[in-house]
Chains A and B, each alone.
Chain A
């Protein structure tokens, strides 16, 4: 079993304060961030392990002054370099420098197609600057993905968001419903959609996919609270992905820090290959030995690998529990109650918990 992709959280600093940020609540301060030379070594070790893609993410990757060096290091290691960015801090000149350094794919997050709403969800006046960067990227040689983060307050504007991505000449649109970890859990009652909204969204996405076939690829990420079966989280624990945080701690999933008894290793101290193969954190939920019933005898266990361990921890307090979003899970009632509570609460623009910046 070889990792296919490395998710490199190169900083937790970010000029945005999104209400659904997937970063952990406890973030790494600037003083713990690793130098580009250490990242370069990690990228080479990852490539030797069989990794093909590196996803440079954050926080906001452009908050680092040496981003160009990091892109070059990824490409020099023979990796496909994807930059996941808010777009803030990337001028035309800086983007061109990243492209010259070997950037393959630019993924810009959008909070909405409507400026005031987008800025409300981001907790920052960011939307106009994102549009400006997308306009530059339209004519450049990197692939452009628009990553639209969806939830109850903007699902009604899906058509406008698709139209926005078309105007940008995006190669790919990710209609990514919020997943409930990190800061999103804090705002869950205000973000969870209704079943009716979601049904309309699914139908609309399918129609747009047909209409745009060959022009713009649309990938849909559903909110798993509404699913019948859990998602194959991270493609299975320790099966295809590894996350390295700004300080070098290596996690099977970016949210894995919520599981209290996992012991993580640091890529500054241990070879990445050893961490992948041998470390306790990666072995903990790899394979099927950890599975309780009904997962253990479920015929879907090879497809969803038992769902998400972090979600089991967050919702039931037990990381070994069957993912509570599963319709077969003993704790499914917790998810249904969360949906009912959120739908009853309605939602307006007040009371958001905004993501803070690390020290």
Chain B
């Protein structure tokens, strides 16, 4: 993930807020239960924001985080999802 990458959810992958299970990411043949900043990251993967934009916005929300930590953790999270073709980048 580079600052200019534009990550978005792959087709057939969508966020859903459920009464019993909270935020889940529905994917073909599977479900990922999201916790922590997961939903807030994925809500921003809408095809309009760059990875740099997303990190800046999250840093605003997690103002107490150590320098670079939001970027490295968000990048690792999205890279893992990209390997499973849940996130695609342009």
What is A's interface to B at a CB cutoff of 8 Å? 2, 4, 50, 52-53, 78, 80, 82, 104-105, 107, 140-145, 171-172, 213-217, 219
Contact = CB atoms under 8 A, between A and B. Distances in A.
Nearest to B84: A217
Interface of B: 10-14, 16, 18, 20-21, 24, 26-29, 31, 82-85
B20 A143 contact: no
Contact of B82 (A2, A107, A214, A216): A214
B79 to A, nearest CB: 9
Contacts of A145: 28-29
Contacts of A141: 11
Contacts of B12: 104-105, 142-144, 171
A52 B28 contact: no
B74 to A, nearest CB: 17
A213 B81 CA distance: 11
A323 to B, nearest CB: 23
Contacts of B83: 213-214
Contacts of B31: 4, 52-53
Contacts of A215: 85
Contact of A104 (B21, B26, B82, B85): B26
Main secondary structure of the interface of A (DSSP, over half): loop
Given A53-B26, A214-B83, A217-B84, A104 B18 contact: no
A214 B85 contact: yes
A46 to B, nearest CB: 12
A214 B20 CA distance: 31
A82 B28 contact: yes
Contacts of B84: 214, 217
Nearest to A104: B12
Contacts of B18: 50, 52, 78
B29 A219 contact: yes
Nearest to A137: B11
Contacts of B27: 143
A104 B14 contact: yes
Contacts of B16: 52, 78, 80
Contact of B11 (A4, A78, A142, A216): A142
Contact of B26 (A50, A52, A213, A216): A52
B85 A52 contact: no
Nearest to A174: B29
Given A52-B16, A52-B26, A171-B85, 5 more contacts: A105-B28, A140-B11, A171-B11, A172-B28, A172-B29
Q: Of A80, A145, A172, which is in contact with the most chain B CB atoms at under 10 Å from its CB?
A: A80
A143 B13 contact: yes
